[in-house]
């Protein structure tokens, strides 16, 4: 296997791990919703602690995956594909995704305390709408415009 194939493999696996960690979080949050939102949330503190531990672990996976995407992407551009407009567009979309996601987390997710109302809990779903929309935009750009 040559270096180009290895870099592409790392890039694709890192992107898939990043995307997968986001999807896994969505499924966990959907599963925990009855325990964290609404009047029936009797063990909210325990489940909030579980969610907090999960998010810390998921963040580690997402961070390593994101770094893998960035480093392998930069190496692929530098050694094989060149610094074209599309490389900058894709890079810009990834940076925009991170800015939008982190901004929304700071503004809307961190202030949540549990139990919360279902309307407040729906902030989580807006976060995933932002993140998954940006993933779709990056993939559409990568596969259909590049």
Query: pTM score > 0.85 for this model?
Result: yes
CB atoms within 10 A of CB 38: 14
pLDDT at residue 49 above 80? Answer: yes
| φ/ψ of residue 40, rounded to 5 | -85, 0
**Eight-class DSSP state of 38:** S
Q: For 121-131, b where at least 16 C-beta lie within 10 A, e where not — what string?
A: bebbeebbebb
Q: Where are the alpha helices (H) located in the chain, listed in sequence order?
A: 3-36, 44-76, 85-104, 118-140
Instruction: Let me know: does 72 contact 7? Beta carbons within 8 Å.
Output: yes
Per-residue pLDDT reduced to its tens digit, 101-145: 999 999 999 999 999 999 999 999 999 999 999 999 998 988 777
Quickly state the pLDDT bin for 41 (edges 50, 70, 90).
low
């Amino acid at each position: 296997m040559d270096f180009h194939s290895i870099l592409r493999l790392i890039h694709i696996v890192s992107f898939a791990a990043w995307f997968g960690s986001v999807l896994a979080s969505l499924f966990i949050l959907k599963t925990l919703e009855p325990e964290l939102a609404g009047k029936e949330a009797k063990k909210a503190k325990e489940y909030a602690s579980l969610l907090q531990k999960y998010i810390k672990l998921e963040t580690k996976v997402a961070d390593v995956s994101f770094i893998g995407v960035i480093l392998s992407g930069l190496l692929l551009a530098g050694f094989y594909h060149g610094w074209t407009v599309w490389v900058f567009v894709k890079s810009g979309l990834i940076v925009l995704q991170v800015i939008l996601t982190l901004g929304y987390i700071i503004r809307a997710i961190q202030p949540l305390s549990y139990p919360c109302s279902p309307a407040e809990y729906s902030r989580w779903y807006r976060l995933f709408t932002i993140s998954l929309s940006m993933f779709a935009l990056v993939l559409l750009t990568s596969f259909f415009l590049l």
